[in-house]
Structure 1
Amino acid sequence: MTEIEPYENALDAIPGAHPYPRSSRYHDAEIGVHRMPDGTEVRYTKRRLLPPLSEAAQEGVPHTVSSGDRPDLLAQRYIGDPGQWWQIADANPVLDPHELTEEAGRTLTIPGSDGFQGARYA
């Protein structure tokens, strides 16, 4: 797991800096503003496209799914943080993370330490 300097974590607490913490899959997503007919502005997260896989992610660690595997448990085992399951989903690419582990015997790619361009917790 990549270490983040303490002052960088403090940036997550600044109001308006970004609505998602650095560990979120949406941290780098663009924030849009929709103006309602009455002039009210509504902020929303624009569509997040899968980032390009780096060579490390493409050559990641293979994992054969067994009964009882879950994306969060795999993230804890391989990445050290169950909240980073989305990195495994992105590396395999699936729309529904449950697809990752619903079929025993499937082989998944677990992204390497440099998994994605811009990934902060790979």
Structure 2
Amino acid sequence: MFLPNSRYSRVATVQTTTSTGETVVALKLRQLTPARGEPQMVQAGDRLDLFAHARTGDATQFWHVADANSALDGRSLVETPGETLLVPGS
């Protein structure tokens, strides 16, 4: 269902019923492990994939940056220039 390098690739699923009676499969909530990282100051135009590529050489690992900063929406981490976020290494 997901690519092997996806943050969701090893997440268990559950089956549930919606309020309309439809049965759906959903992902269980992932437990985030504490991540260490180097603090980086956000500049205008920054993106999580660019931070990930600079630290690991793999832009698809952007979700590690979001997880290290407990962000549900990673875009919020780069909205405000001057903010600091943690960028984990390889």
TM-score when scaled to structure 1? 0.60
Q: Matches of 1:63 and 1:95 in 2, distance apart? A: 19
CA RMSD of aligned residues (A): 2.2
Q: Which residue does 2:12 correspond to in 1?
A: 30
- Could you tell me which of 26, 45, 49 is aligned with 2:27? 45
Q: Matches of 2:14 and 2:57 in 1, distance apart? A: 32
Match of 2:86, SS state, is: strand
Q: Which residue does 1:4 correspond to in 2?
A: none
Q: Which has the greater radius of gyration?
A: 1
Q: Matches of 1:68 and 1:35 in 2, distance apart? A: 41
- 1:61-72 mapped onto 2 (5 Å cutoff): 61-72=38-49
- Tell me whether 1:93 sits opposite 2:75 in the alignment: no
Structure 1 gaps of 5+ residues are 1-18, 114-122
Query: 1:35/1:64 Cα in 2 relative to 1: closer, same or farther (>3 Å)?
Result: closer
Greater than 4 Å deviation, 4+ residue runs: none
Deviation at 1:35, TM superposition (A): 6.9
Q: Matches of 1:90 and 1:29 in 2, distance apart? A: 14
Letter paired with 1:61: E
Between structures 1 and 2, the one with greater strand share: 2
C-alpha contact 2:55 2:89 (8 A) present in aligned 1: no
Structure 2 gaps of 5+ residues are none
